[in-house]
Amino acid sequence: MKAYRADLLDFVSTPAWGDTEASAAVRFRPEHWLLVDDEGRIAGVQTHEPPANIEREDWRGHLLLPGFIDTHVHSPQIGVMASYGTALLDWLNNYTFPAERAWADPEVAARGSAHFLDALLAHGTTAAAVFPTVHKTSAEALFAAANLRRMRVVTGKVLMDRHAPDGLRDDVAQAERDSIDLIQRWHGRGRASYAVTVRFAPTSTPGQLAMAGELCRADPSLFMQTHVAENRDEVRWVGELFPEARSYLDVYARAGLLHRRSILAHGIWLDDSDRAALRETGAQVAFCPSSNLFLGSGLFDWPAMIAAGGAVSMASDVGGGTSLSMQRTLADGYKVQAMGGHRLTAWTALHAATRGAAEALGLGHEIGTLEPGRLADFTVWRWSANAVDAERQRLARDLHERVFAWMTLADERHLLATWVAGAQRFARRPQAATAPARDDERRAA
């Protein structure tokens, strides 16, 4: 057993849109002890000192959160972040596809997967739904690297049999064989889950989409991940390729790819019928604000999705997104919503990156909160890391204002340590304080 003292923040339910003051959904427990058992699960939370025989780390004056969950990110694309260029389709051809072709090499895939997962941990993200590449070896490498770190990863080899360059296309029969082999060897092993991974509708033939749907029907525990309605040119292209479909989303619905474990990135250019289909099937939209702004794709309407009863989670979408930092992603999410005339609260944003994402993935029993029995995936953060945000924290009038300022001004440099299943996997400094911090030190922090 180990114990960690800090300011604990998590959620007991879904915050109402616009709710800021004393939300019943928010659970804030300052200077509490988080207890973690020897199996790497949360054993409880308490205010009184643990017994002397329990190993303790004192992080008083710092913020302890469940690990962030990134529901849409591309492991091979770290190296193409911040690439100057054009809109989505040209950006894919000029930067993304050349970078992904290299992952056919098992050594490149293994090295890149380890680098990617360690980068997630260094940004406070402990679970993710990830696109590798079309190559089977890229999914193998990612599963193996995640298994070594005991990370919860949802992934699968990308399906892409047309409208892609040489070295990045598969075919229906080989893709099916590779997918089935990966499912049999990795799905449900440790914390690994397989996702039938359709790049996006234009890069799969109708035959490949049908095969993907058959995989999902054969095993309802599989995830499905893809892109939908990100860019207006893309939407027009899908309409030309699939004239029989009512909408872009309907392409996936017709193939049997909409279900309770479907993750659809972006969803900017959806209509009311599309949103109703998401509600009815239980599929979720992964909101990727940083990427949407960087590529000029459009503004996602979160309140419209809530009104329709759909689920929304948060995603960095690196490398279209410009950082693996969930705080930067959430801050961009606030700006996107503000441009649409809406105000995103810290509670709604953080919930969608922790408990809300876990529940949308069907993993609320495992991750996303600091409840007893959950795996101990958690992070410790500085409330402030410089004189500017320290002053902003000092002037905050209530908890929401304090957390909102932290969400807006913080990034990975505020992260002190990350734990996965009770094991520390990242540390900015060797260990926590062994003695309580003085009042002047706590104010400075």
Report the alpha-carbon distance of residue 16 to residue 239 in Å, rounded: 36
- pLDDT, one tens digit per residue, over 6-28 is 999 999 999 999 999 778 999 99
Tokens, residue 166: 């040489």
Residue 177 pLDDT: 98
Q: Is residue 113 within 8 Å of 140, Cβ to Cβ?
A: no
For residue 125, give the 3-state DSSP assignment: strand
Q: Kindly indicate whether the domain formed by 68-324 is annotated with CATH number 3.20.20.140.
A: yes
For residue 111, what are the CA distances in angstroms to 74, 115, 307?
A: 15, 6, 43
- Whole-model pTM? 0.94
The mean pLDDT value for 374-386 works out to 97
> Helix (H) and strand (E) counts for the chain?
17, 16
CA pair distance 397, 346, nearest whole angstrom: 15
Distance (Å, rounded) from C-alpha 63 to C-alpha 31?
9
Tens-place pLDDT, residues 123-165: 999 999 999 999 999 999 999 999 999 999 999 999 999 999 9
Q: Which tokens in the block code for residue 45?
A: 């939370």
Q: Which numeric CATH code is attached to 2-67+369-444?
A: 2.30.40.10
The pLDDT tens digits of the residues spanning 59-79 come to 999 999 999 999 999 999 888
**How far is C-alpha 102 from the geometric centre of its chain's CA atoms?**
24
Strands 311-314 and 378-382 turn out to be: unpaired
Task: Using a pLDDT cut of 90, give the percent of the chain over it.
Answer: 88
Domain with CATH 2.30.40.10 in the chain: 2-67+369-444
SS3 state at 112:
helix
Residues 6+ apart with CB under 8 A from 316: 70, 72, 73, 125, 288, 290, 291, 323, 324, 325, 326, 329
Region 27-37 average pLDDT: 98
Sequence ranges of the chain with CATH classification 3.20.20.140? 68-324
Average pLDDT, the chain: 94
Lowest-pLDDT choice from 22-26, 187-191, 352-356, 426-430: 426-430
Using DSSP's 3-state secondary structure scheme, residue 159 falls into strand
Name 91's bridge partners: none
The residues, ordered by sequence, that sit 6+ positions from 346 with a Cβ below 8 Å of its Cβ are 20, 400, 403, 404, 406, 407
